[in-house]
Amino acid sequence: GAHYTDLLREDFRWLLGCDGVAVLPGWTESTGACHEVQIAELLKMPIRTVADWVKLSPDYTCAPDPCGQ
C-alpha cells in the first residue's frame, strides 16, 4: 500500500545519485529490484552483477578459491 509506495519513492531518489546498479543473484524475483533495474535502464545507467562491479574495481585482486574450484 502507501508504505511500499513511500519506500519506492525514497529508493528512486537514492537511485538518482548512483552511477550504476549492482544486482544480486535472484534479483528478478524481487519486485523492488525489478523496478530499480527498469529505472536504471530508462536513465541509461550501467547494470551489472555485484561480481562484475567488483572485477571492474581498480583495487580488485583475485584471491585463490579456498575450495580449489
| Mean pLDDT confidence for 28-49 | 94
DSSP track, 2-50:
HHHHHHHHHHHHHHTT-S-EEE-TTGGG-HHHHHHHHHHHHTT--EEEH
- Give the predicted TM-score (pTM) of the model: 0.74
Instruction: Supply the pLDDT for residue 54.
Output: 87
- Grid cell of 6 as nine digits: 513511500
* pLDDT number for residue 68: 54
Cα gap 17→6, rounded to integer Å:
18
The conformation of residue 24, written as its DSSP 8-state character, comes to -
User: What are 15-27's pLDDT values in tens digits?
Assistant: 988 889 999 999 9
**Distance separating alpha carbons of residues 5 and 10, to the nearest angstrom:** 9
Query: Grid coordinates standing for 26?
Result: 535472484
pLDDT band at 63 (very low <50, low <70, confident <90, very high): low
Whether 30 shows a pLDDT value over 60: the answer reads yes
